[in-house]
């Protein structure tokens, strides 16, 4: 068999013809490379007794390019690119703090009522341990800052 450079030069028009016949106009260079890689693979596994190299190369190259096009189409269908106006910031309408408070209360059953209040206040106000006694109660924070990160009013 001849060297791959000679083979690539000889089959370059075939690869271009396959790409044109499949109406590929985007990523032409990528499909061109796929054609050359397939030609290389076909050369390595070619057996003269089974078929002619030209028909095997044509079938292999076209098949691999079609497989790659199908993969690209599947990947494009999985990707969703929202419109620019979809990226606007919207207010959080969920009251996750009620759920989180209930979660802390049920899992903190071994704590005293005072310890539970301190835990909830510490979790939702995000204040340091030193600033917690000076802060408003959690209920005051909840009413004032519903759905936002809580901070101290010092």
Domains of the chain, by residue range, sit at 4-84, 96-144
d(CA 11, CA 75): 30
What three-state secondary structure class fits 148? Answer: coil
Comparing 89 with 99, which gets the higher pLDDT?
A: 99
d(CA 21, CA 23): 5
What is the structure's pLDDT at 31? 93
DSSP one-letter code for 40: H
d(CA 111, CA 64): 65
Domain spanning 4-84: CATH 1.10.1060: no
DSSP one-letter code for 136: P
What is the structure's pLDDT at 61? 94
> Could you report the per-residue pLDDT of 42-94, keeping only the tens digit for each?
988 887 878 888 899 999 999 999 999 999 888 888 887 667 666 666 666 66
Comparing 137 with 65, which gets the higher pLDDT?
A: 65
pTM here is: 0.51
């Amino acid at each position: 068999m001849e060297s791959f450079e000679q083979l690539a030069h000889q089959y370059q028009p075939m690869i271009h013809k396959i790409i044109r016949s499949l109406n590929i106009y985007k990523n032409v260079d990528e499909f061109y490379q796929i054609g050359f890689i397939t030609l290389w693979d076909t050369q390595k596994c070619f057996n003269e007794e089974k078929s002619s190299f030209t028909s095997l190369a044509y079938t292999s190259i076209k098949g691999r390019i079609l497989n790659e096009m199908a993969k690209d189409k599947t990947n494009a269908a999985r990707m969703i690119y929202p419109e620019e106006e979809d990226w606007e910031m919207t207010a959080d309408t969920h009251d996750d703090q009620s759920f989180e408070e209930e979660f802390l209360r049920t899992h903190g059953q071994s704590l005293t009522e005072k310890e539970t209040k301190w835990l909830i206040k510490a979790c939702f106000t995000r204040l340091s341990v030193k600033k917690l006694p000076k802060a408003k109660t959690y209920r005051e924070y909840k009413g004032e800052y519903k759905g936002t990160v809580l901070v101290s009013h010092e």
